[in-house]
Amino acid sequence: MAEGDRLTHIDASGAANMVDVAEKADTSRTATAIGSVSMKPETLAMILSGNAKKGDVLATARIAGIMAAKRTHELIPLCHPLALSKVTVEIDPDETLPGLRVKATTKVTGKTGVEMEALTAASVACLTIYDMAKAVDRFMVLSGIQVVEKSGGQSGDWKAPDWNGAA
Amino acid sequence: MAEGDRLTHIDASGAANMVDVAEKADTSRTATAIGSVSMKPETLAMILSGNAKKGDVLATARIAGIMAAKRTHELIPLCHPLALSKVTVEIDPDETLPGLRVKATTKVTGKTGVEMEALTAASVACLTIYDMAKAVDRFMVLSGIQVVEKSGGQSGDWKAPDWNGAA
Amino acid sequence: MAEGDRLTHIDASGAANMVDVAEKADTSRTATAIGSVSMKPETLAMILSGNAKKGDVLATARIAGIMAAKRTHELIPLCHPLALSKVTVEIDPDETLPGLRVKATTKVTGKTGVEMEALTAASVACLTIYDMAKAVDRFMVLSGIQVVEKSGGQSGDWKAPDWNGAA
Amino acid sequence: MAEGDRLTHIDASGAANMVDVAEKADTSRTATAIGSVSMKPETLAMILSGNAKKGDVLATARIAGIMAAKRTHELIPLCHPLALSKVTVEIDPDETLPGLRVKATTKVTGKTGVEMEALTAASVACLTIYDMAKAVDRFMVLSGIQVVEKSGGQSGDWKAPDWNGAA
Amino acid sequence: MAEGDRLTHIDASGAANMVDVAEKADTSRTATAIGSVSMKPETLAMILSGNAKKGDVLATARIAGIMAAKRTHELIPLCHPLALSKVTVEIDPDETLPGLRVKATTKVTGKTGVEMEALTAASVACLTIYDMAKAVDRFMVLSGIQVVEKSGGQSGDWKAPDWNGAA
Amino acid sequence: MAEGDRLTHIDASGAANMVDVAEKADTSRTATAIGSVSMKPETLAMILSGNAKKGDVLATARIAGIMAAKRTHELIPLCHPLALSKVTVEIDPDETLPGLRVKATTKVTGKTGVEMEALTAASVACLTIYDMAKAVDRFMVLSGIQVVEKSGGQSGDWKAPDWNGAA
């Protein structure tokens, strides 16, 4: 589990550029990112059982996250385009938050990691939840958006210390 | 400062649809959203003065946030396309975090609010910072992504209670 | 109910160009388009009650149609970009087909009609249904994709003769 | 020629997700889809010899179809991004329809089939024809959009029973 | 005909941001940009009469230019999204170059000028010509890409001194 | 160093189509393109040391060029989508022009060359410079946009005769 000691997107002259990954091996890589949207308990109740079918709110956010993962390289300037082989987004309620927890997993057989794709999927799923509930709750907050697990690639497999696999 | 009591993107049958805003007035609307990326103190130091020109890392994240604001309606399924008249993104270091704080402001003369555009700009700027520093710090976390100020539109002007205008 | 007598996107020299709509009035315009996907009865049964939650298949197709409507001007070369104020997509089963019927409605206050947006939403919703069921039925057919109702603009309001409002 | 017995984009819990294709083999795959736009005989005559150069109307539709094929994964939520190696679109008049018939062929060396790309190309070419002729004929209908031939992949080669290769 | 004395996209602190145009008037604005692709005489001959139908090469470039104009705000970071009301692209051979000359005209009723849209249309039409002929001529050069005429907006109408309206 | 004798995107019937590259070998390919923006000496001075931080103007143009390279296949109708492994954009002042010179380098391991990606990056970087300085100088001109070096692929390595590697 080795981290580097320099910002890889910045070249010797200090300019931001898209680094060369041509010499890296094509290996199977996965990443999992999480995030959450905290809200008022009544907002969560409305999403889960109120005047909306639970399915549609969460399905919309899940689809938005999946579609955003495929556009990561259009949004993040120095990300490489990738032929993602899998994207899943899960959304679960957490009444202790209270709010919704999002978990996104991405996979590729390629030369670069897929953590930005997982983070983008999680972020856009959270943003979509915010959009769908903002008329009833303007103080929702997105937080804890982070990578919790990664496999493949030269930095090896790793998992966030306190990550137990739940969303 | 009135909030509604229903999820506006969900119609009577429970299906998610893009609501009709044709009858809303064209008024001047602004929104400000914030967010932060927390990181190890040495990561922040490297971004600010290490082997990168500060300008390029922050300029890349700022440009990414601005460009993402313009694509909000492509990412968030039920957002209306908007002719944004202004987008600004500011990024400032906060050594107590430690990390970087992002503030995005958006403006439109139109029929719907621009908080999703501000949130999208802030989120993508944070994701870009993550991307540029991930080789040296895999445990960065994005948090506190929220709307802090809004003006125009039928819900009137409001500001988050503890928001003092700083990024 | 007047139709023109020339192909408006083709100029005097015969070249395809995006016509000038600057002098047209900003009026409220709507359009409704329909389409259907016919399939084997067991495919329809599987979508409606089989090993999938009905909600998710139809929600995915509905969201895809709504998002595609917003990108019509990127797909159809000579369409003008529009600030759509509303897009709805409804999908209903029809066991006599057997299959699913899609109805898309679009609205704008602007200088050009929104029938291409409605047609694009209906087409992409149908394509998404095909994608989700193609592993079990390779002979599905998309048909009857057409505009059935239009209001606003200089050609006035009209409705297809045999259109009763059902999807 | 085996078809599956479940909707592959729907996981065990019923949620729509982008399935994992990482373990599938990289093989050469092709697909051909067709579709048609029926119209009044005088609309067809105008497109073919009237006040438009035939070349430009059909060239515009063909280019639109090719460009749309490359964006299939942006439009259809659960499609994988693909490095298409070939896309062709042919458009031929059929006076018995009367109207235009579109045939799109796509090819990839990859892990998933390209029928959605062929269908998207055919659909968008049809939509573009509609757009270019709608000022003179509002009752055009798109129909018969279907996959007629496929090769490569684990389901093997197949052809629609009544497909003879004509557009 | 007044030019400003500062770089408008750069704010007081030196950061690049998308400037506020909300207070500018909605006026009718047009811009015309030109550009050319110089090539070997035999390349030009092949495009005009060789083994290609002239219509298709030029139609493809023209369509590409028109579609690119609509995406200017996605490509140029600080451009505002605009509801273009017209885009035309003309391409004419010039045997004295030898090569092809492109002229693009854009129009909007809005708060900002459309010169970037005209320049983007002209540039992408030139790039498309290059793409279609590069197999036979690798030394083609794009040059003279500039704005030659502009009307509307606070800087008033102007025309490049030596511009006579030809492509 | 062999050039072909036909326009490869045009098929036997004269129609523009996206050619089949499936049988071409996956080899490492690079391309370098250049271009320049000429401007008044005082415009150059303002960009380099005036009321803008040099970093931000050039960083914005560099990021825009890199992002555009990744979208080449969306802009140029018959370009294949590519998994670019590297994109760099360098911008240097040339007081003899006077103006800025842009050099873009692209790399892929794939079946087709990357010269269109390099040309698109260079063009969009030039357009972005124009956009950022247009308020102070409306007579800037983009010129000399061309490929100067290419390696890999069946046409072998080549370099423009008078190209010495400088931007």
| CATH code at position B87 | 3.30.70.640
Residues in Cβ contact with B13 at an 8 Å cutoff, skipping those fewer than 6 apart: none
Residue of E32, E70, E75, E92 for testing the chain C interface, max C β-carbons within 10 Å: E70
Could you tell me if C63 and A60 are in contact, meaning their C-beta atoms sit under 8 angstroms apart? yes
* Distance separating alpha carbons of residues A85 and A108, to the nearest angstrom: 5
> Which residue from A59, A64, A67 is facing C56, i.e. has the nearest CB?
A59
Angle formed by the axes of helices F115-133 and E115-133, to 10°?
Answer: 160
- Whether the CB of A67 is below 8 Å from some CB of chain C: the reply is yes
Q: Is B136 a domain residue? A: yes
Q: Which residues of F touch B59 (CB under 8 A)?
A: 55-56, 59-60, 63
- Six token digits for residue B1: 């400062």
Residues C15 and E65: beta-carbon distance below 8 Å: no
Q: Are C144 and C165 in contact (CB under 8 A)?
A: no
Q: Is B81 on the interface with C (CB under 8 A)?
A: yes
F80 interfaces chain D, CB cutoff of 8 Å: yes
The pLDDT confidence band at residue F54, using thresholds 50, 70 and 90, is very low
DSSP D92-160: EEETTTTEEEEEEEEEEEESS--HHHHHHHHHHHHHHHHHHHTTT-TT-EEEEEEEEEEESSTT--EE-
Closest approach of D27 to chain C, Cα-based (Å): 18
**Could you read off the pLDDT of E7-28 as tens digits, one per residue?**
878 777 778 888 888 888 888 9
Residue D8 lies in a domain: no
Chain C residue with minimal CA distance to B84? C83
The C-alpha torsion from D62 through D65 and D71 to D75, rounded to 10°, is: 160
- Is F102 a member of any domain? yes
Residue/partner pairs of A159-164 with CB below 8 Å, 24 or more apart: A160/B139, A163/A34
- Catalytic-residue membership of B131: yes
Total of domains in chain E: 1
How much is the pTM?
A: 0.95
B-interface mutation test, from C53, C60, C66, C70, most B Cβ less than 10 A away: C70
Number of residues in chain D: 167
Q: Which helix (H) or strand (E) holds D56?
A: helix D54-69
Inter-CA distances, E148 with E28, E104, F140, Å: 18, 10, 10
* Residue D132 within a domain: yes
pLDDT for D54 equals: 47
Are F142 and F121 within 8 A, CB to CB? no
Query: Is residue B135 domain-resident?
Result: yes
How deeply is B98 buried, as exposed, middle or buried, from its count of CB atoms within 10 A (0-12, 13-18, 19+)? middle
Quick check: F62 and F89 in contact, CB under 8 A? yes
Q: Is C26 exposed, middle or buried (0-12, 13-18, 19+ CB in 10 A)?
A: exposed
What are the structure tokens assigned to C75, written together?
């797909």
Q: Is D55's pLDDT higher than 90?
A: no
Residue E2 forms part of a structural domain: no
* Eight-state DSSP code of residue D13: T
> What is the per-residue pLDDT across C34-67, written as a single tens digit (0 to 9) for each?
999 999 999 999 888 744 554 588 889 999 999 9
State the chains in contact with E (3 or more Cβ–Cβ pairs under 8 Å): B, C, D, F
**Residue in chain C nearest A64 by alpha carbon:** C63
State yes or no: cis peptide before D81, omega within 30 of 0. Answer: no
Contacts of F139 (CB under 8 A, 6+ apart): E146, E160, F39, F40
Which positions in chain E touch D59 (Cβ < 8 Å)?
Answer: 55-56, 59-60, 63
pLDDT in tens, B39-59: 999 999 988 874 455 458 888
Burial of D164 (0-12, 13-18, 19+ CB in 10 A): exposed
pLDDT at E61 over 80: yes
Confidence at residue F17, expressed as pLDDT on a 0 to 100 scale: 85
State the residue range of the domain holding D98: 25-153
Identify the closest residue of chain A to B4 by CA–CA distance.
Answer: A136
Residue type, A127: L
Asked whether the beta carbons of A35 and A143 are under 8 A apart, the reply is: yes
Provide the pLDDT for residue F63: 96
**The tokens 């300008």 sit on which residue?**
B55
Q: Which residues contact C146 (CB under 8 A, 6 or more apart)?
A: C33, C34, C35, C119, C160, D139, D140, D141, D142
List phi, psi (to 5°) of D137. Answer: -155, 105
The token duo for C157 is 């309001």
Beta strands in chain A (DSSP E): 27-38, 86-94, 99-110, 141-151, 158-159
> Chain B residues with CB inside 8 Å of C62's CB?
15-17
Residues whose CB falls within 8 Å of the CB of residue E29, separated by 6 or more in sequence, listed in order: E107, E108, E109, E110, E112, E113, E114, E150, E151, E152, E153
Q: Is F80 annotated as belonging to a binding site?
A: yes
Q: Is the pLDDT of residue F49 over 90?
A: no
Q: If you average pLDDT over residues A68-86, what whole number do you get?
A: 96
Q: Count how many pairs of residues, chain C against chain E, have C-beta atoms within 8 Å.
A: 49
Q: What angle do CA D122, D123, D128 make, to 5 degrees?
A: 100
Q: Does any domain span residue D144? A: yes
Chain A residue nearest residue F86, CA to CA: A20
Q: Was D18 annotated as part of a binding site? A: no
Q: Report pLDDT for A1.
A: 39
Q: Do C16 and D130 touch (CB under 8 A)?
A: no
Contacts of E71 (CB under 8 A, 6+ apart): C74, E120, F74, F75
A31 touches chain D (CB under 8 A): no
What pLDDT, on a 0 to 100 scale, did the predictor assign at position F153?
83
Mean pLDDT computed over F19-40: 92
Q: Which of E131, E137, E157, E162 is catalytic?
A: E131
Kindly state whether residue A37 falls inside one of the protein's structural domains.
yes
Report which secondary-structure segment, H or E, holds E36.
strand E27-38
Binned at pLDDT 50, 70 and 90, residue D5 comes out as confident
Confidence class of residue F14 from pLDDT cuts 50, 70 and 90? confident
